[in-house]
Structure 1
Amino acid sequence: MPQPRIRHIAICVFSHQGKILVNAFPDAVKQQTLFRPLGGGIEFGEHSADAIVREIREELDLPIHDVRLLGTLESLFTYLGKPGHEFVQVYDAQFSDLRVYDQCGLEGHESNGDRIQAQWRDSESLRRDGVLVPEGLHEMLRSLSLLE
């Protein structure tokens, strides 16, 4: 069994008109839907902002610009019954293709081949339909007036 480790990840909310872009995934153990912005692991020698640009290109095949750091969260969590620990660099950015904002959602793929079905969600729909993760993200975005 591998030794538990702290992951360093970067995520991007892509705030637009009171909504953020998130991927939904179930936690069958907790019987709830979790919503997390797109992003992923920061590679050794890579700046976290560069990781966001790379991850979005890999996952959605879309260019982005105006990448800006919103803050950092430390996340201690349990997912599918297993403990996790992450340091999360939270970013906002803009899609270069403005037509993306008119779509209800975006399809893509994780590096392991899993399908991504990203959705634009506002604060109310996030609370009603599941939980926004990592913990503290909703409060951070509210304090920056990016979500209600």
Structure 2
Amino acid sequence: MPAQKIRAVAICVFLDNGRILVNEGHDPVEGSSFCRPSDGGIEFGETGAEAVAREVREELGAEVANVRLIGTLENIFTYLGAPGHEIVQVYDGELADRSLYGRAFVSVVESDGQPFQAVWRGLGSFGPQLPLYPAGLVQLLLAKEAEVAE
């Protein structure tokens, strides 16, 4: 049995008028669907912000500007029947190619070469039927929006 480890992860939400860019996923073991922003493991010697910039470049073929940490979440979960544990640094940032904000879908290529479509979703679209992971992300983003509005 492989050793279980806590994974350090960085995500960027690209918060834009109450919506974020997410990947839609499905866990066939649980029979449940969910959403999650694109993420990437933080490599040794790399900051979370550097990991975000690298992942956006690799997966979206885009550049990100004004990357800023908005919080950290701990994510303990089960996916495909296996337990997982992550410390997730949550960043906001701006896509340098502003046209990406006007698209319904953004093409993404995973590190294993699998293509998929990321979508823009409003924060109000997440709930029990379609959760947003990591847990606590919606609350963190709503607090951030309230802080900016003040």
Counterpart of 2:98?
98
1:80 shift after superposition: 1.2
Of 65-74 and 30-39, deviating more is 30-39
The separation in 2 between residues aligned to 1:46 and 1:3, in whole angstroms, is: 23
1:124 shift after superposition: 2.7
* Superposition TM-score, scaled by structure 2 size: 0.93
Q: Secondary structure at the match of 1:131?
A: coil
The separation in 2 between residues aligned to 1:112 and 1:37, in whole angstroms, is: 17
Aligned CA distance change for structure 1 residues 26 and 143 (closer, same or farther; 3 Å): same
Counterpart of 1:43?
43
Q: Deviations over 1:42-72 (max 9, x none)?
A: 0000011000000000001001100000010
Q: Deviations over 1:75-125 (max 9, x none)?
A: 111111110000000000001111111100101111111223100001232
The separation in 1 between residues aligned to 2:19 and 2:116, in whole angstroms, is: 18
1:3 shift after superposition: 0.8
Counterpart of 1:9?
9
Counterpart of 2:117?
117
The separation in 2 between residues aligned to 1:58 and 1:33, in whole angstroms, is: 25
The separation in 2 between residues aligned to 1:139 and 1:116, in whole angstroms, is: 27
The separation in 1 between residues aligned to 2:49 and 2:116, in whole angstroms, is: 21
Q: Secondary structure at the match of 2:24?
A: strand
The separation in 2 between residues aligned to 1:128 and 1:29, in whole angstroms, is: 17
Counterpart of 2:144?
144
State percent identity of aligned pairs.
47
The separation in 2 between residues aligned to 1:101 and 1:129, in whole angstroms, is: 25
The separation in 2 between residues aligned to 1:85 and 1:15, in whole angstroms, is: 25
The separation in 2 between residues aligned to 1:107 and 1:141, in whole angstroms, is: 24
The separation in 1 between residues aligned to 2:95 and 2:135, in whole angstroms, is: 25
Q: Secondary structure at the match of 2:83?
A: strand
Name the count of aligned residue pairs: 146
1:141 shift after superposition: 0.8
* Superposition TM-score, scaled by structure 1 size: 0.94
Structure 1 unaligned residues grouped into runs of 5+: none
Counterpart of 1:19?
19
Structure 2 unaligned residues grouped into runs of 5+: none
Of 62-71 and 110-119, deviating more is 110-119
